[in-house]
Amino acid sequence: MAKLFRAAIMGPPGSGKGTISKRIAHSFGLLYLSSGHFLRESITAKTEAGVLVKSFVERSMLVPDHVMTRLMLPRLEELSGNSWLLDGFPRTLSQARALNNLCQLDLVISLNIPYETLRERLSDRWIHPGSGRVYNMGFNPPRVQGKDDITGEPLIQHDDDKPDALMSRLRHYKDVAKPVIDLYKSQGILHSFSGTETDRIWPYINSLLSTKMHTQPPDTCQPQMP
């Protein structure tokens, strides 16, 4: 039986989760499962969960736990024979417990980035709303200013990426993430990384995963007790 490996990555807005996730997926052959991608996909497909998601997104509200788990868990069940990395789920303790009932994670990565670094990154961040592609004017600018590289459509800057809203977002993230971090810490699978530059954090994450993925016992995605 092939060795399966399932991990999740956590971090505040602007922490570089997306960049690091893509490096992990490329380097270790994991499926990169972004909750944001699944949210947009469900809205476009007008699924039952997607209709619910859209009703919250249109009002700029956080998608509730029961809707997120309804969206994510069936997709993960479909991928029970795959190794993967989750980005954006679970965000809350309720979501973490629901995931735990489906499948035991092997590793959780938590990114700790200083506020000033996050502020600088987010002030330069522009997004293509249709796909979720993210650009940074400092180190990952679009080929044509203000335009998405793939579609040529306009990029936007979220109001909540602006300095006035950022502190509130970070405070909310810390409040919600702490119980999740504590849960995974108690399970012995949490690994935290601190720094201001993704390229300096990456070698440590790469080394950890190289070690972990060569020592994992064979496994299947079976329900676990919370």
Residue 121 counted as an annotated binding residue: no
CA distance 60 to 54: 10
How much is the pLDDT for 144?
A: 94
Of 157 and 182, more confident: 182
Whether residue 102 contacts residue 76, with contact meaning beta carbons closer than 8 Å, is answered with yes
For 156-180, write each residue's pLDDT tens digit: 987 776 777 778 888 889 999 999 9
Residue 63 counted as an annotated binding residue: yes
Residue 16 counted as an annotated binding residue: yes
Residue 135 counted as an annotated binding residue: yes
- Is pLDDT above 70 for 217? no
Average of per-residue pLDDT across 30-36: 94
Residue 61 counted as an annotated binding residue: yes
Residue 125 counted as an annotated binding residue: yes
CA distance 122 to 95: 26
Residue 62 counted as an annotated binding residue: yes
Which two structure tokens, joined as six digits, stand for 34?
Answer: 């972004």
For 109-132, write each residue's pLDDT tens digit: 999 999 888 888 888 889 998 888
- Is pLDDT above 50 for 85? yes
Which two structure tokens, joined as six digits, stand for 152?
Answer: 């040529």
